[in-house]
Structure 1
Amino acid sequence: MSTQSQIDYNRIAKAIEYIQSNFKLQPSLEEVAEKIHLSPTHFQKIFTDWAGTSPKKFLQFISLEHAKGLLKEEKLSIFDAAFETGFSSTSRLHDLFVKIEGMSPAEYKNGGKSLVINYNFSESPFGNIIVASTEKGICHLAFENDKETALGNLKTQFPNASFFEKQDELQKNALSIFNKDWNRLNTVKLHLKGTDFQLKVWESLLSIPMGKLSTYGSLAEKINSPKAYRAVGTAIGSNPVAFLIPCHRVIQSSGNLGGYHWGSDRKQLIIGWEGSHTSN
């Protein structure tokens, strides 16, 4: 991410944080702009360039009441209907094109000894990322500004693998998921290290439509383990592929957004960004 893009992203994150903390007061555009030391006109422009919609409209997608409304929809039918809608809505192509393959027991147990992993640093609407792939698919995607830390975290997951800094076609196709036009998206393949239970949870996350939300309890019921909502939460928290596996769409049953491995502020931004784009 360029220096200016990073500055704008940080300003947007700070603005969202302020609005969330003062949501009941419904701060004006001028008030929010003042808090991040910009003119209202400039703030409106950089926000709209990033989110594709106005700050005011964006906020409805991260408000508590909106989240509660989405959860009511989900309890009725939207969760189970996610795949039944086929390709009638481009907003759902994002998830219908993500396919998960689990690593073999040997790859899982030996720290990736036989794996060749390509990795690359890139940009996203939500900050800098590291993306890594095997010959079968994406094995890791994380938000991280510090490249040394990002690479260190990747190598910790696969201590015996061979690593090369290289962008391949698998990565390019996966990163195209951040674009608006998902009609042109090819199948995104993931090659993940996880237990059978974790893989089941991660696959269930893909059935939450873009622009919608679910809860830990609902996901537990979806995989026929209604009493395992805490284990489901742990599996969600260990998701190795940010955004592509949409763990950010899982919130608390109260409607509060809850935690996120890559930061609660970023979770708010992603939910708002997805909501604003699927409403267009």
Structure 2
Amino acid sequence: MELFIDRIPSPIGTVLIVSDGTALNGLDFGDHEDRMMRLMRLHYGACTLKPMRNPAGLRDRIEAYFARDFAALDDIIVQTGGTPFQKEVWAELRRIPLGATTTYGELAAKIGRPKSSRAVGMANGSNPVGIVVPCHRVIGAGGALTGYGGGIDRKRWLLEHEGAHLRLHSPPAPIAEHLICNLRQTEELCTFPNPDLSDPLSKDLTHEQ
């Protein structure tokens, strides 16, 4: 399968987008390209990435978001693989309003699985399309930012950019380059609590890839 990749400069480092020419199939950061490639193979099997500028107009949309035109992301078509449960969680992520946050428990309740917050965390952590499917808007139950595969500094920047913590009158300052280079490496786009293997749904998700 042939997919197209574009590399977009941003205030928080290079953003990688992958598209089939119609939909957005993946979004990650330049320092996590290996992770994105693993997710693309997981979702689509053998695939090649061909460089293309602005596939499906997606570069324009991402640049508009960073310029504070937040509505530019609203109607982006997202196409991914994943289990039905994962897709349900990812769809609910897109319903979190701009400038708002939610917790794993609240997210689980919204999809009718109030006792499956850990499984929801696992699905959140497997999200292959950052920013547009805003897993950065999920925080800890006590209000802590918790982990984020792109790094806590990026998560904080995105939330401030969207006005979640402060109603900003000017954009947040770019992250210093040395912080971008030292962002914590993880295997998922969002980190999450260890699965509760006594939860049947968690067991399903650990094998249903």
Shared topology, TM-score over 0.5? Answer: yes
Whether the 8 Å CA contact 1:205–1:247 is kept in 2: the answer is yes
The DSSP-based 3-state class of the residue aligned with 1:163 is strand
- Cα distance in 1 between the residues matched to 2:166 and 2:9: 19
- Cα distance in 2 between the residues matched to 1:223 and 1:274: 24
Pairwise mapping of residues 1-280 of structure 1 onto structure 2 (< 5 A)?
Answer: 115-145=1-31, 149=34, 152-153=37-38, 156-157=41-42, 158-167=44-53, 168-175=55-62, 176-182=64-70, 187-275=75-163, 280=169
| Greater helix proportion | 1
The DSSP-based 3-state class of the residue aligned with 1:191 is coil
The DSSP-based 3-state class of the residue aligned with 1:132 is strand
Q: Tell me by how many angstroms 1:238 deviates.
A: 0.7
Q: Tell me by how many angstroms 1:122 deviates.
A: 1.2
Q: Which letter does structure 1 place at the counterpart of 2:94?
A: L
Q: Tell me by how many angstroms 1:206 deviates.
A: 1.2
| Structure 1 unmatched runs, 5+ | 1-114
Larger radius of gyration: 1
- Cα distance in 1 between the residues matched to 2:73 and 2:88: 24
Quick one: structure 1 residues 277 and 140, their matched pair in 2 at CA, closer, same or farther if it must change by over 3 Å?
Answer: farther
Whether the 8 Å CA contact 2:127–2:135 is kept in 1: the answer is yes
Quick one: structure 1 residues 271 and 186, their matched pair in 2 at CA, closer, same or farther if it must change by over 3 Å?
Answer: closer
The DSSP-based 3-state class of the residue aligned with 1:258 is coil
| Structure 2 unmatched runs, 5+ | 170-209
Whether the 8 Å CA contact 1:173–1:185 is kept in 2: the answer is no
Quick one: structure 1 residues 220 and 155, their matched pair in 2 at CA, closer, same or farther if it must change by over 3 Å?
Answer: closer
Quick one: structure 1 residues 245 and 185, their matched pair in 2 at CA, closer, same or farther if it must change by over 3 Å?
Answer: closer
After superposing the two structures, state which structure 1 stretch, 177-186 or 250-259, moved more: 177-186
The DSSP-based 3-state class of the residue aligned with 2:119 is helix
Structure 1 counterpart of 2:204:
none
Normalising to structure 1: TM-score of the pair?
0.53
Quick one: structure 1 residues 134 and 257, their matched pair in 2 at CA, closer, same or farther if it must change by over 3 Å?
Answer: same
Identity %: 33
- Cα distance in 2 between the residues matched to 1:202 and 1:131: 17
Normalising to structure 2: TM-score of the pair?
0.70
Q: Tell me by how many angstroms 1:126 deviates.
A: 1.8
Quick one: structure 1 residues 273 and 177, their matched pair in 2 at CA, closer, same or farther if it must change by over 3 Å?
Answer: closer
- Cα distance in 1 between the residues matched to 2:113 and 2:39: 30
Q: Deviations over 1:191-227 (max 9, x none)?
A: 1111110111011111111111100000000000111
Aligned length: 165
Quick one: structure 1 residues 264 and 183, their matched pair in 2 at CA, closer, same or farther if it must change by over 3 Å?
Answer: closer
- Cα distance in 2 between the residues matched to 1:151 and 1:183: 25
Whether the 8 Å CA contact 2:28–2:128 is kept in 1: the answer is yes
Whether the 8 Å CA contact 2:5–2:51 is kept in 1: the answer is yes
- Cα distance in 1 between the residues matched to 2:90 and 2:36: 23
Q: What is the RMSD computed on CA atoms of the aligned residues? A: 2.4
- Cα distance in 2 between the residues matched to 1:184 and 1:234: 28
